């Protein structure tokens, strides 16, 4: 009785791994079946989707200090635009692009704010979507991540610490900078210092007057403006009064900039949570000025 059994070798499959797939964010090579880039931890789905189309997606960053409301703003923005039948609208590409919208709206429906974005890039939420712009024949492909504020600050203080932050900001076509007006009005200069460091960092990445950050659109958004009504009356005047350093940086270094005010929670309160103490919660949801900064930025990018 023979125990010999034919064994078929799958060595031909190794040929697939010999061809590296470049990450769309940092352009470093990865295996064809990698889920995340091994260098910057961005989803490799972005690269695979970009390779299937002739027009490469634009990249827009939403940045700001920790706790400024980036996740709430982006989640509400995506939810509002995904439900608009006409005008500026958004259609997600890929299941992963719905995660942030789902988590944000789920938390707000429970009268809670979304959990803090982790510092680890492999746990960030990314959005790859098609943006329909008015009478434009073809939709615009767009990539936006929800980057952690503490990771951004660490990259500002120690460059090259977070490769994904540096690579993404270097390739961005525009940026939404979120600022907390309640802290600025309270007399502290924390927001002013952070935004000045952020804008200086952008200039260090690319200071070319024609193609670099001096000519790219920058939308300065005062988030949480529902707690600071004077922001809605005149955002630029508020910036000139309470964030002088930020205002001067924009005037002298960025030709295409504009100030906005935005709010998602109409009213907030504090609730005692076991093990966490006093936690700020939204009482009702009244989005104001959420779409306007994004709409202006898209038009400037396409101009």
- The arithmetic mean of pLDDT across residues 54-65, rounded, is 89
At residue 55, the pLDDT reads 76
Domains assigned to the chain: 16-52 (no CATH), 53-302 (3.40.50.300)
At residue 216, the pLDDT reads 96
Note the pLDDT tens digit of each residue in 62-92.
Answer: 999 998 999 999 999 999 999 887 778 899 9
Average pLDDT, the chain: 89
At residue 256, the pLDDT reads 94
Bridge partners (DSSP) of residue 126 are 145
At residue 220, the pLDDT reads 96
Residue 228 has pLDDT above 60, yes or no: yes
At residue 17, the pLDDT reads 65
Sign of CA dihedral 76, 79, 85, 89: positive
Can you give the pTM of this predicted structure? Answer: 0.89
CA atoms of 91 and 71, how far apart (whole Å): 18
CA atoms of 303 and 298, how far apart (whole Å): 9
């Amino acid at each position: 009785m023979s125990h010999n059994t034919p064994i078929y070798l799958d060595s031909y499959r190794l040929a697939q791994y010999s061809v590296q797939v470049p990450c769309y964010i940092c352009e470093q090579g990865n295996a064809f079946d990698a889920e995340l880039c091994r260098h910057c931890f961005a989803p490799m789905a972005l690269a695979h989707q970009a390779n299937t189309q002739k027009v490469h997606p634009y990249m827009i960053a939403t940045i700001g200090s920790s706790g400024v409301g980036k996740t709430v703003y982006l989640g509400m923005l995506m939810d509002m635009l995904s439900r608009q039948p006409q005008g500026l609208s958004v259609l997600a590409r890929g299941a992963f692009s719905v995660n942030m919208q789902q988590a944000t709206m789920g938390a707000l429906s429970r009268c809670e704010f979304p959990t803090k974005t982790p510092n680890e890039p492999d746990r960030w939420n990314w959005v790859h979507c098609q943006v329909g712009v008015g009478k434009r024949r073809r939709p615009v492909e767009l990539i936006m991540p929800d980057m952690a504020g503490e990771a951004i600050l660490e990259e500002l203080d120690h460059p090259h610490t977070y490769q994904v932050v540096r690579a993404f900001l270097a390739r961005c076509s525009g940026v939404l900078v979120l600022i907390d007006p309640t802290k600025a009005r309270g007399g502290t200069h924390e927001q002013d210092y952070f935004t000045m460091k952020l804008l200086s960092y952008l200039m260090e990445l690319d200071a070319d007057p024609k193609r670099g950050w001096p000519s790219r659109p920058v939308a300065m958004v005062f988030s949480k403006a529902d707690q600071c009504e004077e922001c809605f009356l005149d955002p630029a005047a508020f910036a000139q009064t309470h964030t002088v350093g930020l205002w001067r940086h924009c005037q002298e270094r960025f030709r295409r900039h504009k100030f906005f005010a935005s709010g998602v929670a109409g009213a907030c309160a504090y609730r005692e949570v076991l093990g966490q103490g006093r936690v700020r919660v939204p009482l009702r949801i009244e989005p104001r000025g959420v779409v306007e900064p994004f709409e202006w930025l898209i038009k400037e990018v396409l101009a």
